[in-house]
Each structure stands twice: as structure tokens, then as C-alpha cells.
Amino acid sequence: MRLFRNPEARTAAYISAGVAAVGVVLLLVGMWDVWPAHFPVFLIGATVIVTAPVMLILFLLVLRRHFKKVSDFTRKVEKNQSGEKDLDFSDYEEGELSILQGRVKDMVATLFCQKEQLEEDQVRLTQALADIAHQIRNPLFMTKLTARRLAEPNADPMETQLLAHRILDMTSRIDFFVTTLLAISRMDAGVEVFRPETISARELVRSACVLVEIPMELRDIRLVEDVPEDVLVHVDPAWMREALTNILTNCMQHTPAGGTVTVTVRQDVVKTTIEIRDTGTGIAEEDLPHILERYYKGKDSGSNSIGIGLALSNMIVRAMHGTLTPDNHPDGGAVFTIRLTETIV
């Protein structure tokens, strides 16, 4: 009786009952009054009475087979909802049910891909939040301890000055971290507005190098700029300076005293290439595929490393229709190559 839950089966039963009723009426008419004259009517009525239930039974058998397939299909979809991924939808013949099966199969594949992507995003978000908390908590903790030292009575003036500089350094780290995170989030959301213009590559490189000259000089690192005068690039000056500065800072942090950081610019009819190379220890092979990922810190990273500077540089370069490629130079040291395809010759 479960079959009669479906309106199609009930409709067929009602039609069959109506046809059978018509057959009964014809049969009674055929039996009324003069028998030989009404024999054809009697014969038609008897045929209708016999045929109606037979046709109903055949129709219900076909309908039962059809709805059994629908029921099996429904159970497979329910299994999919419970997390079973590898479901076989290949046992349906051509027809509307087969078309539906194809659409559902595509939908299942899409939903599983979206589910896996969401799970990966959730893991990355959890890790990112942990990294953010760690990067902010440590400077705040050190600042708190330093402030307590400053609050002590009869503090030594020289020590007070040293502690004040330490607080300034810690707050600068937090400010850099928050500012960079905001820049990355704006780029992720697609709301950051870039204002590209045609500028001299030499002026662009100089504006970035001037920000790291003093720290490099204090570390006894030589900074070399090899940039032709006639090279022009079409970029957002402020953001590209930020990208170059982050890369230069990374090279400085991994270059020993007496080393060299070199910025070289070359241009052809296809692209402009900006190469920043250091003479440090280079990038570990296992770090190369991940060095541009957000919050990733290589095994040689220092305790002050945040892991977002190179990621931001990569996002900026990509926004300028370029690519940023980290690698190790054959003669030693790391090399970061920026290729800009929007070349002004």
C-alpha cells in the first residue's frame, strides 16, 4: 500500500475505477430487455470490466518499478548528506531520472569541493588567529614588563631611556603588524584602490632603499643599486615601494655582517625585471614552496619574524600584473625576482 502514497498511483486507481464503473453500466444495459439486440453493449461492458483492472495492475507494476528507483536514489542522496562521498549513480537508464541523476551527481561533487574548501579555510583561519594572537601577545607582554620597570621608584636614568626605546620598538612592531594585516584584508576584500602611474624605475628603487640604508649600515651590509636611468615602470609608487622594502628587509635580516644586498633592474620589450639578491645563507629547499604564504616562517627565521611581509609583497606585485619568485642564487644567497608585464619602453 506504500505505492498509493504517490498521487500518480491514486489517480490511476481512480481512473481505473471510473472506467470499470462505465463497464458495469454497459454490462447492465447489455443484460436489460432484449438479449440479442444488446449483446454488443454487453460484450463491450464485459471487456471494459476485465481490461480496466488488468491495465491498472500493469500500470502499477511499472509505476512501482519507477518509484523504487526514485526511492533508491533518495537513499543515496541521504547517504551523501551523512558524509558518504563515493556514491554510484550509474545504474539509471536514459530518461528524466537519468538527467536528474546527472544533475545531482554534479551538485554532489560541487558541494563536496565546497565543503573541503571550507574545511581548509577553517583550518587556515584558526591557524591565522593563533598566529595573530601570538604576534601581538608577545610584544604586549614585553611592553607590560618594561612599563613595570619604568614605574619603579629611583630608576636609573640610563636604564629608563633604554626601556623607553624598548617600548617604542615593541609598539612599532605591533603597529607594523596591524597595518600590514589591514592592508592584506583590504586586498582580500578587493576594496583597496591602486593608482598606477608611469615612473622612473631608478626613483622607485631609491625610494625603497633609502628606508633600509641606515639599518643595513648598522649591520655592516652593503647595499648596491644597479638600475639604468631610462627604465620606466607603470605601477602604484607607494604600494610597490612597500613591496620592495619588505623584500629588502627580509634580505637584510638573512645577510651576515660584511655581506651585500643588490638590486638590479633590467627591461626588454616584454617585461621589466627587478631582482633583489643577498649573500646570506639562502632559502631552505623545504621553505621555497611556502615562503610567500601568509604567516609562514622558515626554519631560519628570527624571533622577530612575523611571516606576512613577503606575503604582502606578493599580493602587491600580483595586483600590479606581475609575479614574485623566490629562489636561491647559484653563487649563494637568496634572490627575489619581480617580473612586471606592463612595460613602458
Superfamily of domain 197-344 in CATH is Histidine kinase-like ATPase, C-terminal domain (3.30.565.10)
CATH code linked to domain 128-189: 1.10.287
Q: Which H or E element spans position 289?
A: none
pLDDT attached to residue 325: 95
- Average confidence (pLDDT) per 10 residues, the chain, 345 residues: 58 64 61 55 63 65 67 68 58 57 70 79 70 69 77 76 78 76 76 87 94 90 94 92 92 93 93 94 88 74 68 90 93 93 57
DSSP-derived secondary structure letter, 210? T
pLDDT attached to residue 34: 47
Task: Identify the three-state secondary structure at position 342.
Answer: coil
The model scores a pTM over 0.85: no
pLDDT attached to residue 335: 96
Q: How is 75-94 classified by DSSP, letter by letter?
A: HHHHHHHTT----------S
pLDDT attached to residue 263: 96
Distances (CA, A) of 324 to 20, 178, 180, 188: 82, 23, 18, 18
**Is the Cα torsion angle 85, 91, 93, 96 positive or negative in sign?**
negative
Which residues touch 345 (CB under 8 Å, ≥6 apart)?
232, 267, 269
CA separation for the pair 48, 29 (Å, rounded)? 14
Q: Domains of the chain: which residue ranges? A: 2-87, 128-189, 197-344
